[in-house]
Amino acid sequence: MLVGIVGKPNAGKSTFFAAATLAPVDIADYPFTTIKSNRGIAYVTRPCPHSELGTECSPHNAPCTEGVRLVPLDLLDVAGLVPEAHKGRGLGNQFLDDLRQASAFVHVVDASGATDREGNIESPGDHDPTDDVQFLEDELAYWIAGILAKGWDKMARRAEIEGENLEKLLSERLTGLGLREAQVHLALRDVALEGPPRRWKEEELVRLARELRRIGKPMILAANKADVAPEDALQSLLNLPDVRVIPTCSECELALRRAAKADLLDYVPGASAFTERTDASLTGEQREALQKIRGYLNRLGFTGVQRCLEDLVFDQMGMIVVFPVEDENHWTDKDGNVLPDAFLMPRGSVTRDLAYQVHTDLGDNFIRAVDARTKRVLGKDYELQDGDVIRVVARS
């Protein structure tokens, strides 16, 4: 699964990305530092079922630390979006296309209000950060509406005159965006546009596009630079209706993760505190920086980076984690590795979807599945539950 990190220039997207992935990327206090998108691997966490077995696991795709499984998630950090990007402003709309395959977005907003709409530096509080939320929503909607508008007349005619199913035609058009027919159905129902589709104007397509984005690409808002944001600016973001907002200090998270990697301190991403190693030799500057971060954590409770990803994946998108195994008694693969894999799957996925996720052959030759906890036999349409340990049996 791919999550896109979006927002205006200079908001801290690459800092958020680097904090979540520890990938080396360019970060600087001017707009358009990022030109080519960066892709990296972050993770979300779930309890590892190995404790139920009383045996350590031998992870393959998702490491386990002290009973917590780190389930991988692809992140994409793109260039900054400016108003009218869909018309080619800023770095144009070519990188919007990088976002096609993203299933969800983290919108990184500069909550400090110290950068204008285009990312140029101003004094803290000069810019109203809620304005950025609106324009980004607009840009994403215009982008999707632009895809809809191409060949719209022809498609609407096919639906009206030849009686073809509009939802089907639309979802074919939108497959590149990863939108499913059921999502198109919901969006059409919710916007309830009137009159024949052929008469729908740009404004109506934008309304439909807005709804398609809302349903098909969930978004969470990272109120970033919360360490230097004026209280009222942060509050105005937190009070926005219909959007989940989490205050973040990406810079704090990046510093803590790098320091932990360098064995200077102990820190679990997402935690509310860290402990300095007694044997670490820190410079005065480093100590001062850590003191500031400690103050921030005491005030806000967490840096918010990991919280954003977990909330987006589990609460907004309702994803679940499933553990496929080949032996339902020992919870191993054919080489005896215990609980080797952990997969993120959309809620509503069934056993056959899991089989396909493991391997196409396993999906094609599916016979049955087994719940490794209860040993109950499951058919191809059993709806998977979060934390399930499942064996798939297939024709060889």
Ligand X SMILES: Nc1nc2c(ncn2[C@@H]2O[C@H](COP(=O)(O)OP(=O)(O)OP(=O)(O)O)[C@@H](O)[C@H]2O)c(=O)[nH]1
CA–CA dist 271, 77 (Å, integer): 24
The distance of closest approach from Cβ of residue 234 to ligand X in the complex, given in angstroms and rounded to an integer, is 12
Q: Which is nearer to Mg ion, 177 or 308 (CB)?
A: 308
CB neighbourhood size of 372 (10 A) = 23
Q: Which is nearer to ligand X, 296 or 382 (CB)?
A: 296
SS (H, E, C) 48-76: CCHHHHCCCCCCCCCCEECCEEEEEEEEE
Q: Which positions lie near ligand X, rule CB under 6 A?
A: 7, 9-15, 27-29, 31-34, 79-80, 119, 224-225, 227-228, 249-251
69 binds, among ligand X, Mg ion, none (CB under 5 to 8 A by kind): none
The distance of closest approach from Cβ of residue 29 to ligand X in the complex, given in angstroms and rounded to an integer, is 3
Determine phi and psi for 372, rounding to 5 degrees.
Answer: -70, -20
Adjacent-strand bridge partners of 394: 366
Q: Which is nearer to Mg ion, 33 or 101 (CB)?
A: 33
28 binds, among Mg ion, ligand X, none (CB under 5 to 8 A by kind): ligand X
The distance of closest approach from Cβ of residue 139 to ligand X in the complex, given in angstroms and rounded to an integer, is 14
The distance of closest approach from Cβ of residue 8 to Mg ion in the complex, given in angstroms and rounded to an integer, is 11
CB neighbourhood size of 39 (10 A) = 14
User: CA-CA distances (angstroms) from residue 383 to 72, 337, 365?
Assistant: 22, 26, 19
CA–CA dist 355, 33 (Å, integer): 42
The distance of closest approach from Cβ of residue 110 to Mg ion in the complex, given in angstroms and rounded to an integer, is 12
Q: Which is nearer to ligand X, 10 or 183 (CB)?
A: 10
Q: Which positions lie near Mg ion, rule CB under 5 A?
A: 13-14, 33-34
Q: Which is nearer to ligand X, 15 or 351 (CB)?
A: 15
Is the Cβ–Cβ distance between 117 and 83 less than 8 Å? yes
Report DSSP state, residue 95. Answer: G
Q: Which is nearer to ligand X, 225 or 307 (CB)?
A: 225
Adjacent-strand bridge partners of 345: 320
CA–CA dist 63, 50 (Å, integer): 12
The packing angle between helices 166-173 and 129-149, to 10°, is 110
The distance of closest approach from Cβ of residue 164 to ligand X in the complex, given in angstroms and rounded to an integer, is 42
Determine phi and psi for 296, rounding to 5 degrees.
Answer: -65, -45
Q: Which is nearer to Mg ion, 14 or 332 (CB)?
A: 14
Residue 264 Cα to chain centre, angstroms? 29
The distance of closest approach from Cβ of residue 288 to ligand X in the complex, given in angstroms and rounded to an integer, is 14
15 binds, among ligand X, Mg ion, none (CB under 5 to 8 A by kind): ligand X
The distance of closest approach from Cβ of residue 169 to ligand X in the complex, given in angstroms and rounded to an integer, is 36
- The two structure tokens encoding residue 327: 């032996």
224 binds, among Mg ion, ligand X, none (CB under 5 to 8 A by kind): ligand X
Q: Which is nearer to ligand X, 106 or 174 (CB)?
A: 106
227 binds, among ligand X, Mg ion, none (CB under 5 to 8 A by kind): ligand X
167 binds, among Mg ion, ligand X, none (CB under 5 to 8 A by kind): none
50 binds, among ligand X, Mg ion, none (CB under 5 to 8 A by kind): none
Report DSSP state, residue 218. Answer: -
User: CA-CA distances (angstroms) from residue 76 to 49, 97, 125, 220, 384?
Assistant: 30, 12, 29, 15, 28
CB neighbourhood size of 153 (10 A) = 10
367 binds, among Mg ion, ligand X, none (CB under 5 to 8 A by kind): none
